[in-house]
Amino acid sequence: MVPVYGARWGTRGRLLSRKFLFLGPPAAGKGTQAALIASELGIAHISTGDMLRDQVARRTELGRTIETMLAAGELVPDDLVVSLLPDRLAREDAVPGFVLDGFPRTQSQAVSLETLLGEDGLDRVVALVVPEEEIVRRITGRRSCAEGHVYHVSGLPPKVAGVCDIDGLSLFQRSDDTEDVVRNRLAVYLASTAPLMERYSAILVKVDGIGSVEDIKARILAVV
C-alpha cells in the first residue's frame, strides 16, 4: 500500500477520499483556513472565487462575461460556475480529497455537486462564524497576490509591504473588497448561501472564526 499523507484507507486497501466544504460569509477566513487545512491533510484547496478571478485576469470569454458581476459582489450564474468544476475535481491533487471554498453557494449548485460526487457525498461541512463588524475590518484590510495568497495589512502582514512572501508577486486590493460591495456580498450570502446550512445540517459543524489563524485551524482540524 502506497503511503499518502493525510489520506485514509478503507477496507480492502481502497483509498478513501476526504471531501470538505467550508461555508461562511465573505472574509470569514474560508480561504485562509482552506489553504492550511488542505496542505495539512494533503488534499486540494478548490476555491471558485480564485478560479473565477483567474478567468478575469486571463481575459477569457468567461472572464469578460463575469468581470462586472464579481466587482459588484453578485453571484456568477450557476451554470457558468458549475462548468468549471468537473475538470478541477478530476485533477490529480483532488484524488485524495479536497476542501471546497466558495462552492456551492446556491441550492442549485448544491444539487449539481451531488450529481458530480455521486454516492460519495461530502464528509463534513464547516461553517465559520464571524460577526459583521469583523468582516468589514477584514475585507477592507485584505491584500492578495495573483496566485490567491492572502494577507491583511495589520492582522497578517507580509514580510515586505506590498509583496507576497510566497511568490514575490505584488499584492493588490480586490475590486470587490470595498465597504459598499461587502454589504452587498453579505446580503447575497444571507439570501442565497446561508440557507445551505439547513441542507447540510447532518454533517455541519459551526466553528468560531474569531481568534488567531492557528487557533482556528486547530478548531477545524478537531472536527474534520
Residue ranges binding ligand AP5 (CB under 6 A): 24, 26-32, 48-49, 52, 69-70, 73-76, 81, 102-103, 105, 109, 138, 141-142, 150-152, 155-156, 176, 185, 211, 213, 216
| Residue 159 known to be catalytic | no
| Residue 174 known to be catalytic | yes
Strand-pairing partners, residue 101, are: 22, 47
| Residue 19 known to be catalytic | no
Burial label, 42 (beta-carbon count in 10 A; 0-12, 13-18, 19+): middle
Among 18, 19, 53, 105, the one annotated catalytic: 105
Q: Which is nearer to ligand AP5, 18 or 152 (CB)?
A: 152
Whose grid coordinates read 485514509? Answer: 8
Q: Which is nearer to ligand AP5, 26 or 97 (CB)?
A: 26
Q: Which is nearer to ligand AP5, 18 or 177 (CB)?
A: 177
- Minimum separation from the CB atom of position 121 to ligand AP5 (A): 18
| Residue 91 known to be catalytic | no
Among 8, 88, 137, 174, the one annotated catalytic: 174
- Minimum separation from the CB atom of position 107 to ligand AP5 (A): 12
| Residue 14 known to be catalytic | no
Residue nearest to ligand AP5 (CB): 49
- Minimum separation from the CB atom of position 148 to ligand AP5 (A): 9
- Minimum separation from the CB atom of position 52 to ligand AP5 (A): 5
Among positive and negative, which fits the CA dihedral 7, 36, 146, 161? Answer: negative
Q: Which is nearer to ligand AP5, 15 or 107 (CB)?
A: 107
- The residues annotated as belonging to the active site are 30, 105, 142, 174, 185
